[in-house]
Structure 1
C-alpha cells in the first residue's frame, strides 16, 4: 500500500498541518477545502479533507453496511468525504490515545487508522477520544503539492484539535484562515516574486 509506505517512512515536511485552499482554487473538488495533511515527503503527499460531510451517510448507516455491531452504536463519529482518491476506502483520523495494528502516527498527538478495528471500538464506546471517518483521501504525486503551494493554491495552517474535529464543517474554511488572521476577501489567487 503506497499510502502506508509513505506514512511509515517518517519523512514529513508538512505532516499534521492543515492545507487551506486559496479562494482562486480552480479544481472544484477542492474549492474552500480544509485538508489535514497526513504525509508529505519526496514520494508525494496524502491528506484527509475535513469539511465535506457526506449527505445521507451517517456512522450508523456505515456500520450497517459493513455488518458491524452494535447499531445503534454507543459512540458516533462524523463521516466525511476525505478526497477524490479511493472513495470506497475508509480512514479514521483520530487522537493518538488509541491504536491498533496498522495505525500510523501523523504527528505527536494524531494518528490515522485504516481498518475496521477502530470502527468496532468506537461503536462499542471505546476507541480514540476524538476522530472523524473519511471515505477516500486527497493524494498528490511527487512534487505536485509543492508546485501547487508555489502557485499559491494552498496555505499551510497549524492544526489544532478544535479545527481538526470541529463538527461545523461549513465554517471550517473561514475559521482556519482566521487562525492566520487572514480575511478571505483580502486574498489574491495571483502569486508573484519580489
Structure 2
C-alpha cells in the first residue's frame, strides 16, 4: 500500500522537519488561528515547531537579557522576540543560520542544511555582545504535538504543509505572512474554506 503523501498514515510517517505548517481557516485552536509554524523536529514520537508570525512587541530583547542577568553591550544584536507557541512560554529558542557543514554543539538542533535552533544561554550572551549568528530571531515557548497528534490535525483539515520556510523565518513583516505562506504554495487565500475536504 502506498503511503499518503502528507500524513503517511498507511506507512512510515513523512518527516516534516524543516517544512512549514499553515493554519487552515477551520483551525479549532484559537491560539493558532492564521499561524505559520516552522516544524523543527518531527518523528513517530511527535513534533515540535515554532510559530513564525506572532511578534511579542511587549517584550524587547534588552528587557529579556535584563531578566536573565545578561549585560548588553552598546553594539548588542537586538533581535526580534516572538511567541513560539503555548508550551513552556518561559523557554527561549533562537532560530538562526548555520554553516551547511560542521559540528553542532550541545544545545543546537539542526533543522535543515543551513538552519538551526539553539537553546543555550551562550548564544544569548554572544548576541548581547554584538556577536553570534546573523540573521537570528528569538521565540518564547513552542508548539508541541504527541505521537500521531499532528497527523490527526492535518487529516482534520487543521493544517496545510508546505515549503518556503526560508522566505518567512527571518522576515519581520508579520501582518501578511499567513497570506504569503499560502501564495508560496500556489494557493489564493481568498479561495480557502475551512470546510474543504469535508463531505
Which interval holds the TM-score relative to the shorter structure? 0.7 to 0.9
- Hey, what's the Cα distance between the residues in 1 that align with 2:28 and 2:129? 42
- Hey, what's the Cα distance between the residues in 2 that align with 1:28 and 1:192? 21
Q: Could you tell me which of 66, 69, 72 is aligned with 1:70? A: 72
In structure 1, the residue matched to 2:35 is: 33
1:128 has 2:139 as partner: no
Query: Relative to 1, partners in 2 of residues 1:82 and 1:72: Cα closer, same or farther, differing over 3 Å?
Result: farther
In structure 2, the residue matched to 1:106 is: 111
Contact 2:46/2:148 (<8 A) preserved:
yes
Deviation string 1:48-83 (CA, Å, 9 cap, x unpaired) is 011111131011111111111225552111101100
- Hey, what's the Cα distance between the residues in 1 that align with 2:75 and 2:46? 36
Q: Quick check: which one's helix share is greater?
A: 1
- Hey, what's the Cα distance between the residues in 2 that align with 1:47 and 1:148? 14
Equivalent runs, 1:1-194 vs 2, <5 Å? 13-97=15-99, 100-192=105-197
- Hey, what's the Cα distance between the residues in 2 that align with 1:159 and 1:112? 17
Contact 2:110/2:117 (<8 A) preserved:
yes
Contact 2:83/2:139 (<8 A) preserved:
yes
Q: RMSD of aligned C-alpha atoms?
A: 1.9
Structure 1, gaps ≥5 residues long: 1-10
In structure 2, the residue matched to 1:4 is: none
Which aligned segments of 4 or more residues in structure 1 are displaced greater than 4 angstroms? Answer: none
Aligned residues: 184
Structure 2, gaps ≥5 residues long: 1-12
